Chain A
Amino acid sequence: MDLKSILECERKSLEKLKRYQLPNSFKKVGVGIILISVVSIIGIKLSIDTPNLKKAAMYGVLLGLLVISISKEKIEDELITNLRMQSYALAFIAGVLITLTNPLFSYIASSLFDKQLEHFNGMGDWQILWILLSIQVFYFELLKRFNK
């Protein structure tokens, strides 16, 4: 296999990766998953407080956001692709900044209000993913409105 065919093979596999998006109808599925998960979290909290079930429902919220995030628009043209890329870039930068600065803010807050518990608290995987996905979905919708 020469270098040219290796590059061609890599290009083809990258092209396949571009087809990761779900049809537009999946947006409703994503909203449905989020609603079911939120109702489940409230239900679990009010009845039997099972940590594992609650965690599963919380991950359901993330799954719903991911489905919304990767669902196509009704007309998926180059403007939409551009806005989508902008929203992913902003979500990535904002997510990293929030994750990096969060321990500092939590340290300041704990040293101000609860002096005995001064410590650097990092964020959990759920919070980080929630921030990334919610910023992306929110900012993408905002960009679409600005371009109407």
Chain B
Amino acid sequence: MRNRLKIERAILNLTQEELAHKIGVSRQTISSIEKNRYVPSTVLSLKLSILFQKPVNEFFELDDTEISEVKK
């Protein structure tokens, strides 16, 4: 899964620490999501969606392999 979290965070001019504080997680969690090491839960994704004022699939998207798995 790919994500645009870093870009969306930059648009809002937020640091990892500030974003983490706003959605109630640690800075470590934001860093892991940005590096694609951790896929967040639905609840966390929806919190980000409220903060960025965008639907979840605008900043989280499946990669080509995952899409082809669904289309099989």
- A interface with B by C-beta (< 8 Å): 73-75, 77-80, 82, 144, 146-148
Contact = CB atoms under 8 A, between A and B. Distances in A.
Nearest to A148: B28
Contacts of A147: 28, 31-32, 37-38
A112 B28 CA distance: 49
Interface in B21-60: 24-26, 28-29, 31-32, 37-38, 40-41, 43-44
Contacts, number: 32
List of 4 A-B pairs having minimum Cβ-Cβ separation, nearest first: A75-B26, A77-B25, A79-B29, A147-B32
Contacts of B32: 79, 147
Please classify how large the interface on chain B is, using the bins under 10, 10 to 19, 20 to 34, 35 or more: 10 to 19
Given A78-B43, A79-B29, A147-B32, 12 more contacts: A75-B25, A77-B24, A77-B25, A77-B29, A78-B25, A78-B29, A78-B40, A79-B32, A79-B38, A144-B28, A147-B38, A148-B31
A78 B32 CA distance: 12
A145 to B, nearest CB: 10
A77 B26 contact: yes
A77 B43 CA distance: 12
Nearest to B37: A147
A73 B27 CA distance: 13
